[in-house]
Amino acid sequence: MNYWQKDEETMSIDEIKQLQLERLQSVLYRAYENVSFYKKKFNESNLSPDDCRKLSDISKFPFTYKNDLRDNYPYGMFAVPLRDIVRIHSSSGTTGKPTVVGYTKNDLENWKDLVARIMVAGGVSKNDIVHIAFTYGLFTGGFGLHYAAEHIGASVIPVSSGNTKRQIMIMQDYRSSVLVSTPSYALHIAETLEKLNLTKNDIHLKYALLGSEPWGEKIREEVEKKLGVIATDNYGLSEVMGPGVSGECIYKNGLHINEDHFYVEIIDPETGEVLPEGEKGELVITTLTREAMPLIRYRTRDITRLYRDNCPCGRRLIKMDKPSGRTDDMVIVNGVNVFPTQIEEVLKQFDETTPHYMVFLKKKGKLDMLEIDIEMTENLFFDEMKKQKEILEMVTERMFNVLGIKPKIKFVEPKSIERFEGKAKRIVDLRDE
Amino acid sequence: MLKVTSLSVNYGFVNAIRNVSVHIKKGEFVALIGSNGAGKTTLLNSIMGLVPKKDGEIIFKETDISKNPPHSRISYGISLVPEGRRIFPNMTVMENVEMGGYSKKRSEVVSKMDEIFHFFPILQERRTQLAGMLSGGEQQMLAIARALISSPDLLLMDEPSMGLAPLVVKEVYEKLSMLKNMGLTIFLVEQNAMAALKYADRGYVIENGRIIMQGKSDELISDNEIKRAYLGKEYKEKWER
């Protein structure tokens, strides 16, 4: 069985708990001393890092929310001087403030190792040719996997996203053996392959490491069958580092969490109470080793379950299920995170539209489609078609800028969209149908 | 081998160390670094039982020894080389070494002594000289030899480089490295962070009685936070918001 960091990945529970406690106590001190946000927050709750005497004491400490990162834009959450930061990633955040994450040299070294663990667990070795079809740029996905694959010693092809036919040509000619992409893009590749009258025997893929959006066994089956790969899931979020938080091994039953670097809890999203191991709830992560930007009890909004088993791969790290949903209204479209609030922000900028809208998520082939129905104002409704078309184009353009994906927008008659009493349900997901 | 969890020690009302958690595995060479007054010696003395703990656990080979008196901790297999060496200047080198074995059987001490003098040829040469006549480096070797005579599993060392010339520091650390390779587990505290981290496998950084960072030695060496802790400098030139 292959490991990247065998000692860490196969540690006994006693060892891991001691290591977690040591690192947790230190990260609390560092966050308290170096991040004024945490100093203030701890002081307000009458807490000092000294109050963490055992692992479970972490439950006394306050949560960190995504909004806290926005409020401290850009560098307020950093615990080191800017000159110690060697990389900055960020969310797109065209509406409101984006969230910024920084990495020190040691953070990048750790990041490489943690993603490398997951890649090795998913079957990758130094003999592989890794085809990375994630978008590069500010997103953490592309770079995270890229550097880890190089770290392992594999050959990396940074194809990035788009132009699927060319991607398939590269796979054929350059003999890519590992595909790194979103699950929906993997399906899209499979479909394009069929259209080109090609099969899995015409390409050389062996493994696929898929992530950045939720997916199920049905998709896995199809990807594995059509691309001739072993497909594994991996999980991460840019706020705590990026990919490398957890990942499946080739036994594909649960994601091993790199718990020597991330302390995980499951909470009841309503009450904030910590739930016992095995129960379903929201995943909360405390970074244990991060220097640039330690996060204490970060609310991931992802719903999952934690458990330990005797995985045949020999790893002893705690496992999580594939996230089964969100505690907020975020949806993921082709790997891009979309919040309804972003759509509302855009609508605010146009006088010709009302804030009444509906979002429909559909499938166009294997790829996701985002459709937005927006109510026009009476004025625009009676205006000429040309004007309507102009506005439609402007709204579409603006949405594209804000969301990062191009939605299909339809104007509908005034008062034709359902009015909600209480919590609005504006998102209709038709992708599974 | 050694597991310390959330150890706190007070001197009167002063917190010397708070919530200190460290572990040392068998065969490891681990360094605790920090500036003057950070709590390094307090931690060692507390592991040794020389100062009482306020809170926390000290588990050595699966047993909580935090209530045992110092001499019984030695019999468990822990030995301390104190800060400033503390040799007996008016006794001979050999007598000094013997002092470290007072709790052991005579025959054990004699056979161990041969082994130790073989390892430290310089002490062998000077075995009949008064310890006070030795150079600083030789005295440090003597202090180590005195600690080794009780055949410890874990060697604790307080500031081995203190008051020594750089070249001599190197000599001392090279001896420690050899001891580690022979299977001895070593935990030392040191202000001279660069020297300690060059030879140790892992390190902890202590500041104001709290461990603020830990990691492999090469990670720590390249870290600016360490330079700050070690130099005791408070430079916080964050980006101006």
Decide if B6 and A33 are in contact by the 8 Å CB cutoff.
no
Which residues in chain B have Cβ-Cβ distances shorter than 8 Å to A15?
23
- List pLDDT tens digits, range A140-156: 999 999 999 999 999 99
- List pLDDT tens digits, range B149-197: 999 999 999 999 988 999 999 999 999 999 999 999 999 999 988 899 9
Average pLDDT for A364-393: 87
More confident of the two residues B147 and A93: B147
Query: How high is the ipTM of this complex?
Result: 0.90
Decide if A75 and B238 are in contact by the 8 Å CB cutoff.
yes
Continuous H helices in B106-223: 106-119, 121-125, 136-148, 166-181, 193-199, 217-221
Minimal Cβ distance to A84: which of B5, B19, B224: B224
Look at the block and give the residue holding tokens 């008064």.
B130
CA A238-A242-A244 angle, to 5 degrees, is 155
Shortest distance between the Cα of A407 and any Cα of chain B, in A, equals 36
pTM above 0.90, yes or no: no
Residue B22 pLDDT: 97
Beta strands in A193-339 (DSSP E): 207-211, 230-237, 242-248, 255-257, 262-267, 280-287, 298-307, 319-320, 325-326, 331-333, 336-338
Residue B233 has pLDDT above 80, yes or no: no
Residue A404 pLDDT: 82
Residues A163 and A235 in one domain: yes
Counting residues of chain B whose pLDDT is more than 90, the rounded percentage is: 70
Residue A212 pLDDT: 85
A413 lies in a domain?
Answer: yes
Decide if A289 and B22 are in contact by the 8 Å CB cutoff.
no
Task: Assign residue B37 the CATH number of its domain.
Answer: 3.40.50.300
Q: Which residue of A has its CA nearest to B240?
A: A75
Residues A296 and A359 in one domain: no
pLDDT band, very low/low/confident/very high, at A422 (cuts 50, 70, 90): low
Residue A341 pLDDT: 77
Looking at A277, A306, A328, the residue that finishes a domain is A328
Strand pairing report for A129-132 and A367-376 = unpaired
A96 lies in a domain?
Answer: yes
A106 lies in a domain?
Answer: yes
| Number of folded domains that form chain B | 1
Task: Assign residue A266 the CATH number of its domain.
Answer: 3.40.50.12780
Which residues in chain B have Cβ-Cβ distances shorter than 8 Å to A30?
212-213, 225
Q: How far apart are CA A126 and CA A155, in angstroms?
A: 8
Shortest distance between the Cα of A135 and any Cα of chain B, in A, equals 29
- List pLDDT tens digits, range A16-49: 999 999 999 999 999 999 999 999 999 999 999 9
Kindly state whether A5 is in contact with chain B, defined as any CB-CB distance less than 8 angstroms.
no
Decide if B210 and A18 are in contact by the 8 Å CB cutoff.
no
Residues A159 and A195 in one domain: yes
Looking at A298, A328, A358, the residue that finishes a domain is A328
Residue B238 has pLDDT above 50, yes or no: no
B145 lies in a domain?
Answer: no
Minimal Cβ distance to B214: which of A22, A82, A105: A22
Q: Which residue of A has its CA nearest to B213?
A: A26
Q: Which residue of A has its CA nearest to B59?
A: A18
Q: Which site among B210, B214, B218, B221 would you substitute to test the A interface, given the most A Cβ atoms closer than 10 Å to its Cβ?
A: B210
Shortest distance between the Cα of A190 and any Cα of chain B, in A, equals 43
Q: Which site among B15, B238, B240, B241 would you substitute to test the A interface, given the most A Cβ atoms closer than 10 Å to its Cβ?
A: B238
Q: Which residue of B has its CA nearest to A21?
A: B21
Residue A277 has pLDDT above 50, yes or no: yes
Average pLDDT for A234-242: 94
More confident of the two residues A366 and A297: A297
Residues A360 and A283 in one domain: no
Average pLDDT for A313-331: 89
Decide if A82 and B238 are in contact by the 8 Å CB cutoff.
yes
Which residues in chain B have Cβ-Cβ distances shorter than 8 Å to A84?
224
Residue A333 pLDDT: 86
Residues A130 and A209 in one domain: yes
Minimal Cβ distance to A22: which of B21, B224, B236: B21
pLDDT band, very low/low/confident/very high, at B237 (cuts 50, 70, 90): very low
Task: Assign residue A391 the CATH number of its domain.
Answer: 3.30.300.30
- List pLDDT tens digits, range A113-172: 999 999 999 999 999 999 999 988 888 999 999 999 999 999 999 999 889 999 999 999
Decide if B19 and A49 are in contact by the 8 Å CB cutoff.
yes
Residues A269 and A351 in one domain: no
Looking at A275, A307, A328, the residue that finishes a domain is A328
Shortest distance between the Cα of B56 and any Cα of chain A, in A, equals 8
A51 lies in a domain?
Answer: no
Classify the C-alpha dihedral B100-B104-B109-B111 as positive or negative: negative
Which residues in chain B have Cβ-Cβ distances shorter than 8 Å to A293?
none
pLDDT band, very low/low/confident/very high, at B235 (cuts 50, 70, 90): very low
> What is the span of the domain harbouring residue B70?
2-85+152-231
Low-confidence winner among A254-263, A374-383, A418-427, B62-71 (lowest mean pLDDT)? A418-427
Q: Which amino acid is at A5?
A: Q
Q: How far apart are CA A290 and CA A18, in angstroms?
A: 18
Q: How far apart are CA B28 and CA B26, in angstroms?
A: 6
Q: Which amino acid is at A397?
A: E
B192 lies in a domain?
Answer: yes
Tokens of A300: 């991931």
Kindly state whether A226 is in contact with chain B, defined as any CB-CB distance less than 8 angstroms.
no
Q: How far apart are CA A13 and CA A15, in angstroms?
A: 5
Average pLDDT for A302-315: 95
Q: Which residue of A has its CA nearest to B217?
A: A106
B49 lies in a domain?
Answer: yes
Residue A349 has pLDDT above 70, yes or no: yes
Residue A93 pLDDT: 58
B104 lies in a domain?
Answer: no
Nearest to A315 by CA among A109, A8, A41: A8
Look at the block and give the residue holding tokens 């001392």.
B172
Residue B240 pLDDT: 38
- List pLDDT tens digits, range B2-18: 999 999 999 988 889 99
Q: How far apart are CA A401 and CA A61, in angstroms?
A: 37
Q: How far apart are CA B81 and CA A139, in angstroms?
A: 52
A109 lies in a domain?
Answer: yes
Average pLDDT for A65-84: 93
More confident of the two residues A331 and A14: A14
Residue B239 has pLDDT above 50, yes or no: no
Q: How far apart are CA A344 and CA B179, in angstroms?
A: 68
pLDDT band, very low/low/confident/very high, at B229 (cuts 50, 70, 90): low
Quick one: chain A helix, strand, coil %, rounded to 5? 35, 25, 40
Residue B227 has pLDDT above 80, yes or no: no
> What is the span of the domain harbouring residue A149?
69-328
Decide if A105 and B222 are in contact by the 8 Å CB cutoff.
yes
Residues A176 and A288 in one domain: yes
Number of C-beta neighbours around residue A184 at 10 A: 24
Kindly state whether A105 is in contact with chain B, defined as any CB-CB distance less than 8 angstroms.
yes
Residue B230 has pLDDT above 70, yes or no: no
Which residues in chain A have Cβ-Cβ distances shorter than 8 Å to B7?
none
Nearest to A200 by CA among A154, A123, A233, A192: A192
A176 lies in a domain?
Answer: yes
A24 lies in a domain?
Answer: no
Residues A284 and A418 in one domain: no
Average pLDDT for A244-250: 97
| Number of folded domains that form chain A | 2
B209 lies in a domain?
Answer: yes
Residues A351 and A376 in one domain: yes
Kindly state whether A292 is in contact with chain B, defined as any CB-CB distance less than 8 angstroms.
no
What radius of gyration do chain B's Cα atoms show?
Answer: 18
Which CB contacts under 8 angstroms, 24+ apart, belong to A423-429?
A426/A340, A426/A357, A426/A358, A426/A359, A427/A329, A427/A331, A427/A340, A427/A358, A427/A359, A427/A361, A428/A358, A428/A359, A428/A360, A428/A361, A429/A331, A429/A361
Kindly state whether A82 is in contact with chain B, defined as any CB-CB distance less than 8 angstroms.
yes
B118 lies in a domain?
Answer: no
Shortest distance between the Cα of A296 and any Cα of chain B, in A, equals 15
- List pLDDT tens digits, range B13-62: 888 999 999 999 999 999 999 888 899 999 999 999 999 999 999 999 99
A308 lies in a domain?
Answer: yes
Residues A176 and A245 in one domain: yes
Shortest distance between the Cα of B3 and any Cα of chain A, in A, equals 8
Tokens of A16: 């891991």
Decide if B219 and A109 are in contact by the 8 Å CB cutoff.
yes
Average pLDDT for B141-145: 95
Residues A353 and A269 in one domain: no
- Residue A359 dihedral angles phi and psi, to the nearest 5°: -110, 130
More confident of the two residues A384 and B120: B120
User: What is the pLDDT of chain A when averaged over all its residues?
Assistant: 92
Q: How far apart are CA A264 and CA B121, in angstroms?
A: 53
Decide if B214 and A26 are in contact by the 8 Å CB cutoff.
yes
Residues A255 and A392 in one domain: no
